[in-house]
Structure 1
Amino acid sequence: MAEVDLNYASVVFKNKHPAPEAKKEEETVYDEVKVQNETTEQTADTNAGLLPDKKTIGRLRHYQRLACCLGILCVILLLGIIAVCVFFVLSQDGDGGQLVKELKQNQTTLLTAIYDLKKVRDKLSSDIEILKRNNDSLNLQLGNLILNFTVSEIKVANLTAQNQQLRNNFTEQITNMETNWINLNVSRAQWSVDAYCPDVNKETQCRPCQNGWELNEASCYAYNNPDLAKRKTWEEAREDCRGKGSDLAVAHNQQQKDAISGYSKGSNGYWIGLRVEDGRWKWIDGSELADNSWIGDPTVGHCAISFQSKGWESVSCGEKQQWICQKSAFSV
């Protein structure tokens, strides 16, 4: 494209017939008149008839702008065609096609990851809502617990006061019981003195056994032989002896056995403090029978009765029999 030289000149039009009142010549100046001239020397006489008018100058400018726009569009179109060709080539063969595939795969992976993240986000939102509800429920429970704890503290305080009152009452009862026990011991001591040391003919005579009890060595024996209707089982007989401050008779040696048998009067047997426990003959004091030849083999649910002539026999503890009580003699 040839270079165009733009020359700008000032054109002056002179009025040959000025108005009478004007003393100066009018001048009209036109700027920026485009002329195409390869020479730099212009004179007023040679170029006066070759200068273009305003309309021609505007058309020249319009064509110039249109040519520039068309050139720019051609360049843009050429670049687009080149880019499409490059993309097509890269997408069909070689590393470019593989790159496009990888990009597509990465795009799919990213879309899948985005979908998974959305699901995770939705799940987290749901969990947050559940946690909020659980938090509200826990706050309510905490409030109830605090209320219950306050009520419990009040109850504990009341129970502490009641406990203190009970302790005071219990201490008072213990004191009263101790006093009563002392009085009872004094009464029992006095009763023992009265029972073992009766006043006979205004003279106090102390004996090792009470009236109705037989002395043998260091023990006193009471032989209870009521009528048939008033006889007792082994347990009932033992309760009767305990009520008298004694227990059923016990023999740990031959002399004690002979003493028990000697006082077993009559043809009926007498309960003694021997029964079967854990498959063995045992006395009521927890000791075992010293000589198994004194009675037959142990039978569950059996107790021993004593005869004066037949020795000892094993019978059911539920039978009604007479009984012998034993207690320590009073030491004068």
Structure 2
Amino acid sequence: MAEDEVNYASVVFKSNQQQRSEVKKEETVYDEVKVQNKATEQTPDTNASAEFLSDKKSNRGCRHYQQLACCLGTLCIILVLGIIAVVVYNVTLIHENDETELNQLKENQTTLNAVNRNLTKLNNKLSSDNEDLKRNQTELTLHINNLTQVVTVFEKEVTNLTEENRNLQKKNEELETQNEELETEKKNLTDQIRNLTTSWNELNVSRAQWSIDAYCPKDKDKINNNRKCNVCQDGWLPFQSDCYAINNADPPEQKTWEGARGNCTGKSSDLAVVNNETEKNFVTGNNWWNSGNSAYWIGLRVEGGNWKWVDGRNLTYTSWITTSPTDGQCAVSVKNEFKSVSCDEKNGWICKKKALTL
């Protein structure tokens, strides 16, 4: 919009300065006309006077019209000024409204900028939270996968344990059945033990009586049947604190090493164990060799690559047998020495047990 013009409804309105300049121009023309009229009035000519009167009348008419034109121009100017004032007022109102709206828009823009900044911060925070949530989701996914694997393993273990539990229940039922059977057997064995205890007591009484008769026989030549006790029972040879039974069996009745030992244990004794040189000389140098037997089993054999006595002790006198120990070999007593032979040979044997202390 130009500085000196205001366009309103396709009409060009002039500013106040332009209106003032036009009024001045009209006044200048009016003054020139008055000067010309005075000049014509000062002419002495009559014709000129007549013309002056006619001109004067015409000038009056012109003046009248000029006044009307001035009034009309004034009214137009007033009207234009009113319109201009209305337009200016409206423009002012519009400008004020525009300023108000502009200020409001600025305030709104400031508010929106603040909101935008807050939203930007919130968006950044939400983006960060979203990244954290993604990381947490990834970790949770891995954790869930691990837990799934663990659960799978646990389910397999539970299945195995369930199967083992069923097997254990079956075994428990079997054990309960066996327990009942064992209880029955226990009861039967208790009855048997009771019966055996009674029999054992009776046997002990019988054995005690037998021991008395064996070690303290009655004197058959005396009427009062007095007893005389010996350290060894009849048929046993006393030596030091032990008793020896020399079994001079004939070849058909001779026994292997195991058979000979069984015979000795049946007599509450065992194959002879020799503890020292004196006892060795007694076993190997006695006069029972004249019976015809050349060898007698003693309680010495090879076990685990070593010579062992039947009481569990190792042979300490290695010079008594020079033969290397070989499994399946047993010792026999021959004239003045011990000798290694097969345990399956058959020979006589020597039993030994403790002598009775009187």
Given candidates 229, 237, 242, the residue that maps to 1:219 is 242
Given candidates 320, 329, 348, the residue that maps to 1:302 is 329
1:212-232, Cα deviation, whole Å (9 max, x unpaired): 110001111111112122211
Q: Note closer, same or farther for the CA distance 1:153–1:331 as it changes in structure 2 (3 Å cut).
A: closer
Q: Note closer, same or farther for the CA distance 1:169–1:252 as it changes in structure 2 (3 Å cut).
A: same
Q: Note closer, same or farther for the CA distance 1:311–1:172 as it changes in structure 2 (3 Å cut).
A: same
- Shift of residue 276, structure 1, vs aligned partner: 1.4
- Shift of residue 256, structure 1, vs aligned partner: 1.4
Paired AA for residue 193 in structure 1: I
Paired AA for residue 219 in structure 2: V
In structure 1, what is the Cα distance between the partners aligned to 2:196 and 2:302? 38
Q: Note closer, same or farther for the CA distance 1:280–1:158 as it changes in structure 2 (3 Å cut).
A: closer
Partner of 1:50: none
Secondary structure in 2 matching 1:172: helix
In structure 2, what is the Cα distance between the partners aligned to 1:231 and 1:323? 8
Q: Note closer, same or farther for the CA distance 1:271–1:153 as it changes in structure 2 (3 Å cut).
A: closer
In structure 1, what is the Cα distance between the partners aligned to 2:253 and 2:309? 25
Q: Note closer, same or farther for the CA distance 1:252–1:157 as it changes in structure 2 (3 Å cut).
A: closer
Q: Note closer, same or farther for the CA distance 1:315–1:206 as it changes in structure 2 (3 Å cut).
A: same
- Shift of residue 298, structure 1, vs aligned partner: 2.7
Paired AA for residue 263 in structure 2: D
Partner of 1:168: 187
- Shift of residue 273, structure 1, vs aligned partner: 0.7
Q: Note closer, same or farther for the CA distance 1:152–1:288 as it changes in structure 2 (3 Å cut).
A: closer
Find out whether 1:312 has 2:331 as its counterpart: no
1:203-282 residue pairs with structure 2 within 5 A? 203-263=226-286, 265-266=289-290, 268-282=294-308
Secondary structure in 1 matching 2:212: helix
Given candidates 177, 182, 191, the residue that maps to 2:210 is 191
The alignment's TM-score, normalised by the length of structure 1, stands at: 0.50
In structure 1, what is the Cα distance between the partners aligned to 2:207 and 2:268? 11
- Shift of residue 153, structure 1, vs aligned partner: 9.6
Between Structure 1 and Structure 2, whose CA radius of gyration is higher?
Answer: 2
Give the root-mean-square deviation of aligned CA atoms. 3.0
- Shift of residue 253, structure 1, vs aligned partner: 1.0
**Does the 8 A contact of 1:252 with 1:290 survive in 2?**
no
Secondary structure in 2 matching 1:199: coil
Q: Note closer, same or farther for the CA distance 1:153–1:234 as it changes in structure 2 (3 Å cut).
A: closer
Question: Alignment length, in residue pairs?
Answer: 188
Identity of aligned residues (%): 45
